[in-house]
Amino acid sequence: MHTVLAATATLLAGAFALSTLERYLARGRRHELMWTISLCMFALGSLALWAGAAIGWSEWTFKSFYLFGAILNVPFLALGTVYLLAGQRRGDIAAATVSLLAAFAAGIVVATPIIGSIQSDVLPQGSDVFGPGPRIAAGVGSGVAALVIIGGAVWSAVQLLLGRRRSAAAPVTAIPAGRLAAANLLIAGGTLVLSAGGLLNSVVDEMNAFAISLVVGIAVIFAGFLLTTVSTPSVQPAPEVVRGSLEPGPILAGADPSVREPSREQA
């Protein structure tokens, strides 16, 4: 079962990454680049889980899974939220900081020796095979980043329901505000599932628990993305401007901040 779940999570994350990459290539917006990077990491983490489930766990399949699936993916997903809510300048600062910390965390995971034995047919827990370094990186990185994503998604949903959904410079689409708010709530719910996957260990075995959390979390966030997809946007007068409110797009109802990003020529 866990092999099928891991394969499903890998394919879902890969399809989602291609969707956000298509939008980034079409529009060149940095939040979409951050989401694409994050979803590629989700796919790599799921692929490592798939490999471990199919051919057996080893030091490097587990380290790959832990690095991409437990440490790096959620912080880069949260960078998209920062770009949307705080603007490009603050987003660039946050991206540089997260990238440095990600490189440091990767070095810790690669250099940290395995302190316990790894059974080839059982997904290890970090506390059984790692010292404090990788576990602290996973807890802090995923926990703080999840708060950023969930807080931003809920705040955006509230703004949408209040009728304050777009910036003056943003194109207006035909998507109803209620649908966009539902997309934001799906994104927040999916992030909660991804962050809380370890809690399933008390109900099912570890390998199935992580696989289930990856499949369900990615599927729920992807559903939020699909709710914001329309074939052709309609051009209408822009509604009331609210600083930092969000507009349609893949994550957080895919908005640009009302803090307008510079054009490519200015960047």
User: pTM here?
Assistant: 0.76
Residue 79 lies in a domain: yes
The CA distance from 61 to 69, in Å, is 11
**Torsion angle (degrees, nearest 10) of CA 138, 143, 149, 154:** 160
Is the pLDDT at 168 greater than 50? The verdict is no
Residue 262 lies in a domain: no
**CATH code at position 109:** 1.20.1070
Q: Which pLDDT band holds residue 33 (cuts at 50, 70, 90)? A: very high
Residue 259 lies in a domain: no
Domain count for the chain? 1
Do the beta carbons of residue 233 and residue 26 sit within 8 Å?
no
Residue 264 lies in a domain: no
Structural domain boundaries enclosing 138: 2-254
Q: Write out pLDDT tens, residues 134-149.
A: 888 888 888 888 888 8
Do the beta carbons of residue 5 and residue 212 sit within 8 Å?
yes
Q: Write out pLDDT tens, residues 216-247.
A: 888 888 887 777 665 444 444 444 444 444 44
Residue 137 lies in a domain: yes
Residue 265 lies in a domain: no
Residue 27 lies in a domain: yes
Is the pLDDT at 187 greater than 50? The verdict is yes
Which one is predicted more confidently, 203 or 182?
Answer: 182
Residue 57 lies in a domain: yes
